[in-house]
Amino acid sequence: MEIIVDLYGTSETEQDAKNKAESVLEKAGKIVSISSVQLNPENHSATVTYTLEKDPNYVPSSGLH
């Protein structure tokens, strides 16, 4: 899958794009695996290709304390 992330206000590096994508895509029980980053400096953005994989170590919370 792909997501376009806004890099305005960052150094607009590949690592900035990965960090932004991971923060936007983060979900309980999933691991974000980024396969490629295409920087689009003219738009202050990047296209990030990723997959969401099941986290084998995830234990859902029952919500009870």
Tens of pLDDT along the chain (65 residues) come to 999 999 999 999 999 999 999 999 999 999 999 999 999 999 999 999 999 999 999 998 876 65
Contact partners, residue 16, CB within 8 Å, separation at least 6: 7, 10, 46
Q: Does the residue 64 lie in any domain?
A: no
**In a domain? residue 27:** yes
Q: Let me know if residue 41 belongs to a domain.
A: yes
Range of the domain at 32: 2-54
* Cβ atoms 4, 47 nearer than 8 A: yes
Number of domains in the chain: 1
Name the pTM for this structure.
0.85
pLDDT at position 65: 59
Q: Which of 63, 2, 5, 51 is nearest to 27 (CA)?
A: 51
